[in-house]
Amino acid sequence: MMLLALYSHRTHNFAQIPAEPTRAMPQASTKERRLNIRCDEQTRALLDRAAGHARVTLSEFVLSRAVQAAEQVVRERESISLPEADFTAFLTALDAPAEPSPALLRAARRHAADVESA
């Protein structure tokens, strides 16, 4: 299987998500943002126990697991896996695109006008 990562160009995508999940949070990084989470007593006790078993602070435990889960969700939503033959066909189609249809040309002109007026 070939993996093809598709990253959109929306303004909120500031950085490319790494292909492999983060194994540990970097210790030297400066953390400037705060994230507050509310939970019930049982959940807090469970998280405290798990952090203790992992020999990290509760914040490090929760943040590292949340980052791992976030990276996985983003990878699943922004990448596709193709069999090698389909991947080759996809690349061939990119190298020889079809002529744009009249509807596509109209949409491109409308988009260009919207961008210029913004």
Give the number of other Cβ atoms within 10 Å of residue 61's Cβ: 19
Q: Which domain holds residue 76?
A: 34-96
Q: CB within 8 A of 84, min separation 6: which ones?
A: 1, 2
- Residue 72 domain flag: yes
Specify the number of domains making up the chain.
Answer: 1
- Residue 54 domain flag: yes
| Residue pair 67/22 in contact by the 8 Å Cβ criterion | yes
- Residue 56 domain flag: yes
Question: Considering only CA atoms, which of 51, 53, 49, 46 is closest in space to residue 25?
Answer: 51
**What pLDDT, on a 0 to 100 scale, did the predictor assign at position 80?**
86
- Residue 29 domain flag: no
**What pLDDT, on a 0 to 100 scale, did the predictor assign at position 106?**
96
- Residue 70 domain flag: yes
pLDDT by residue, tens only, the chain of 118 residues: 555 555 443 433 334 445 555 555 555 678 889 999 999 999 999 999 999 999 999 999 999 999 999 999 999 999 888 999 999 999 999 999 889 999 999 999 999 999 988 7
- Residue 26 domain flag: no
- Residue 39 domain flag: yes
- Residue 118 domain flag: no
Predicted TM-score of the model (pTM): 0.52
**For the domain that residue 40 is a member of, what is the CATH number?**
1.20.5.780
The CA-based diameter of the chain, rounded to the nearest angstrom, is 63
